[in-house]
Amino acid sequence: MQSNQQFCSSLFRTISGLTRAALAIAIVFVLTVVLAPSAQTQTFKVLHAFTGAQDGGNPNTGLIPDRAGNLYGTAMIGGITGSNCPSNTCGIVFRLVRQGSGWIFNPLYNFAGGNDGANPYAGVVFGPNGSLYGTTPYGGGGDDCGFGSGCGTVFNLKPSATACKTALCYWTETVLYGFTGGNDGSVPAFGNLIFDSVGNLYGTTLMGGTYNAGMVFQLAPSGSDWTESTLYSFTGGGDGGYPWAGLTLDSAGNLYGTTELGGAFDGGTVFQLTPSGLGWTEKVLHSFTGGADGDEPYAGLIFDQSGNLYGATVDGGQGAGGTAFKLKPSSGSWTYSLVYGFQGSAFCGPTGNLIMDAAGNLYGTTECDDAYGKGSVFKLTPSGPPWTYTSLHDFTGGSDGANPVGGVILDASGNVYGTAAAAGTNGRGVIFEITP
Share of the chain above pLDDT 90, in %: 76
Q: Under a CB-based contact definition with an 8 Å cutoff, are residues 326 and 337 in contact?
A: yes
pLDDT of residue 217: 98
For residue 10, pLDDT over 50 is answered with no
Is residue 33 scored above 70 in pLDDT? no
Using H for helix, E for strand and C for coil, what is the string for 382-395?
CCCCCCEEEEEEEC
Number of domains the chain is built from: 1
Q: Is residue 301 part of a domain?
A: yes
- Radius of gyration of the chain from Cα atoms? 20
Instruction: Let me know if residue 331 belongs to a domain.
Output: yes
* pLDDT tens-place string over residues 194-223: 999 999 999 999 999 999 999 999 999 998
Q: Is residue 168 part of a domain?
A: no
d(CA 401, CA 368): 12
Asked if the model's pLDDT at residue 57 lies above 90, the reply is yes
d(CA 23, CA 231): 47
pLDDT for 154: 98
Q: Which helix (H) or strand (E) holds 11?
A: helix 4-16
User: pLDDT value at position 383?
Assistant: 87
Q: Does residue 137 form part of some domain?
A: no
Give mean pLDDT, residues 291-299: 98
Is 131 among the domain residues? no
Q: Is residue 335 part of a domain?
A: yes
Per the DSSP assignment, residues forming a β-bridge with 295 are 315
CA dihedral 211, 213, 214, 215 (to 10 degrees): -40
For 376, the domain range is 27-62+296-436
- Residues contacting 216, CB < 8 A, separation 6+: 202, 203, 204, 230, 231, 232, 243, 247, 255, 257, 273, 280
322-333 pLDDT, tens digit each = 999 999 999 889
DSSP 182: S
Summary mean pLDDT of the chain? 89
Amino acid at the residue 307: G
Q: Is residue 181 part of a domain?
A: no
Tell whether the model's pLDDT for residue 282 goes beyond 80.
yes
pLDDT band at 22, cuts 50/70/90? very low
407 domain-assigned: yes
The mean pLDDT value for 361-383 works out to 96
CB 45 within 8 A of CB 34: yes
3-state secondary structure at position 122: coil
Please check the confidence at residue 50 and state whether its pLDDT lies above 80.
yes
How much is the pTM? 0.91
DSSP for 314-360? SB-STTEEEEEEEEEEETTEEEEEEEEEEES-TT-S--SPPEE-TTS
